[in-house]
Amino acid sequence: MVRSRKTREFALNQSAQENETHRTALLMSGGMDSAVLAADLARTGFRVHPVYVRFGLRWEDVELAYARRFLEALGHPLVDPLTVLEMPMGDVYGAHWSRTGPVPDESSPDEAVYLPGRNILLVSKVAVWCALQGIRSIRSGVLSGNPFPDATAEFFSTLTQAISAGLDWPIQIIRPYAALKKLDVIRIGGDVPLERTFSCLSPAAGGHCGRSNKCA
Domain holding 144: CATH number? 3.40.50.620
- Under the banding of pLDDT at 50, 70 and 90, the label for residue 19 is very low
Residue 20 clears pLDDT 50, i.e. is over it: no
Q: How far is CA 141 from CA 34, 157, 166, 174, in A?
A: 5, 16, 25, 9
Residue 57 clears pLDDT 80, i.e. is over it: yes
- Under the banding of pLDDT at 50, 70 and 90, the label for residue 6 is low
What dihedral angle (degrees, nearest 10) is formed by the CA atoms of 157, 91, 89, 215? Answer: -110
More confident residue, 16 or 158: 158
65 in any annotated domain: yes
137 in any annotated domain: yes
CB 50 within 8 A of CB 71: yes
Q: How many domains does the chain have?
A: 1
| Residue range(s) defining the domain that contains residue 62 | 2-196
Mean pLDDT lowest for which of 5-9, 73-77, 90-94, 210-214? 5-9
- Under the banding of pLDDT at 50, 70 and 90, the label for residue 5 is low
203 in any annotated domain: no
